[in-house]
Amino acid sequence: MSTLENQTQVVRAERNDGALSQPRLEAERTAAFAHRAKPEYSPAIHAPDARGITFSQAIREAIAEEMARDERVFVIGEDVAEAGSVFKVLVGLVDEFGAERVIDSPISEAGIAGLGVGAAITGMRPIVDIMFGDFTTLVMDQLINQAAKTHYMSGGKLKVPMVLRTTLGASRRSAAQHSQSLHALFSHIPGLKVAVPATPYDAKGLMKSAIRDENPVVIFEDKMLYQQKGPVPEEEYTLPFGRADVKRTGDDITIVATSSMVYVALEAADQLAAAGISAEVIDPRTTTPLDVETFVQSAQKTSRALVVDEGYQQYGVTGEIAAVIADGAFYYLDAPVKRIGAMNVPVPFSPVLEDLTIPTAAYVVETAKALVSGQ
């Protein structure tokens, strides 16, 4: 049993007698925390010797390298060639590989996706660009009924090695039809793989793996992360799907966070450390497949868990991850697994209202403190 757990048991007993105040409890935790080992960080977060590039540059670099390596790879989407995509991620790619491999399409998401499925079945490796994740609702049949099912329904004779790039995330004041995080929809479908990279390192490694995969992969890139800078090795590397990354080690509570919420969780972990609480931050990297083992092992160690995701909380990613932790670590948990997702409302255009719908570090800290304190 950890020192913090011993303290918590004493606190609970004394609280029942009204003998110990919350300020005194936090002061004791802070004093105990000072003697602990410093947290370790993932190389995706902290690698002093690696070059630093942006999330956007990492995505472009991965695609360019794979296009140079394999002539079957091509990109198709609205404004991907001359404009370099709506978020300028692909600027210069058409100059490097030509208009036959970086293809500006008409405004027809259904047509783009259908073409991608057909091209993949017949031996190509398309990267289909859907500029906003909200617009993936227009490609449900092509992706869910065709791409995800073709390998199974052909008895393994056909494959669909296709990547669909799209976005998630609010905070851009883009209103309800351009701000949703819909990765849970596709994570629900057998036959699809879904990646939600948080750092430039993860973005490049997962993109390269997705392009080489024999299955259809949907990659959700948070719009607010494109200018996020981080360490990325210059040498060749890929990242496996279904393997989570411990972004920061800790002992008192496990925080599982996806995409941009990883940074929210890391900020919260810093604030919790000041209060004497050691938080472990885990990034799933992919929601399908899901690295259940890493989540469970961490929760067994810390005895408390919190899941943070920017998708809607109802029927979302937070529910699935919380459920597998509760199932696998049940006898180790000192408190119910908590989850924090986006508010279950259409994303408002008003900046003041929009900000209220998104999980924040302050709310993560408040929830984590309550869990650790047994409230």
Task: Say how many CA atoms lie within 13 Å of 248 toward its Cβ.
Answer: 26
What is residue 27's predicted lDDT score, i.e. its pLDDT? 58
Strand order through the sheet with 217-222: 102-104, 73-77, 125-129, 163-168, 217-222, 193-195, 286-288
Which tokens in the block code for residue 141? 């049949």
For 76, 113, 133, the CA distances from 136, given in Å and listed in that order, are 15, 9, 5
> 123 — alpha (psi -120 to 50), left (phi > 0) or beta?
left
Which tokens in the block code for residue 210? 């997705």
How confident is the model over 283-304, as pLDDT tens digits?
999 999 999 999 999 999 999 9
User: Before 289, cis peptide (omega within 30)?
Assistant: yes
How confident is the model over 96-109, as pLDDT tens digits?
999 999 999 999 99
Q: How far apart are alpha carbons 326 and 306 in whole angstroms?
A: 11
What is residue 356's predicted lDDT score, i.e. its pLDDT? 93
What is residue 172's predicted lDDT score, i.e. its pLDDT? 83
Positions marked catalytic: 178
* Spans of the chain, pLDDT less than 70: 1-36
Q: How many CB atoms lie within 10 A of CB 35?
A: 7
Select from 91, 323, 289, 298 the least CA-distant residue to 209: 289
What is residue 358's predicted lDDT score, i.e. its pLDDT? 95
Which tokens in the block code for residue 296? 């469970």
Calculate Rg over the CA atoms of the chain. 22
Q: How far apart are alpha carbons 252 and 304 in whole angstroms?
A: 7
Task: Report strand pairing: 73-77 vs 102-104.
Answer: parallel
Task: Say how many CA atoms lie within 13 Å of 286 toward its Cβ.
Answer: 21
Which tokens in the block code for residue 27? 């002061």
What is residue 13's predicted lDDT score, i.e. its pLDDT? 47
Task: Say how many CA atoms lie within 13 Å of 135 toward its Cβ.
Answer: 19
What is residue 16's predicted lDDT score, i.e. its pLDDT? 45
- Superfamily (CATH H level) for 52-231: Thiamin diphosphate (ThDP)-binding fold, Pyr/PP domains (3.40.50.970)
Q: Tokens 């496996």 identify what position?
A: 240
* In the chain, ranges of CATH 3.40.50.970 domains: 52-231
What is residue 237's predicted lDDT score, i.e. its pLDDT? 97
Q: How far apart are alpha carbons 136 and 118 in whole angstroms?
A: 18
Using DSSP's 3-state secondary structure scheme, residue 118 falls into: helix
Q: Which CATH class is domain 3-35+242-373?
A: alpha beta
Using DSSP's 3-state secondary structure scheme, residue 53 falls into: strand
Select from 70, 42, 48 the least CA-distant residue to 208: 70
Asked if residues 138 and 109 have their Cβ atoms less than 8 Å apart, the reply is yes
Q: Tokens 């002093």 identify what position?
A: 48
* pTM (2 d.p.): 0.89
Instruction: List the alpha helices (DSSP H) in the chain.
Output: 3-16, 22-33, 55-69, 93-97, 109-121, 140, 150-153, 183-187, 200-212, 261-274, 292-302, 317-328, 351-356, 361-373
Which tokens in the block code for residue 256? 């599982």
Q: How far apart are alpha carbons 8 and 17 in whole angstroms?
A: 14
Strand order through the sheet with 338-342: 245-248, 279-283, 253-257, 305-312, 338-342
* In the chain, ranges of CATH 3.40.50.920 domains: 3-35+242-373
Select from 280, 287, 284, 292 the least CA-distant residue to 248: 280
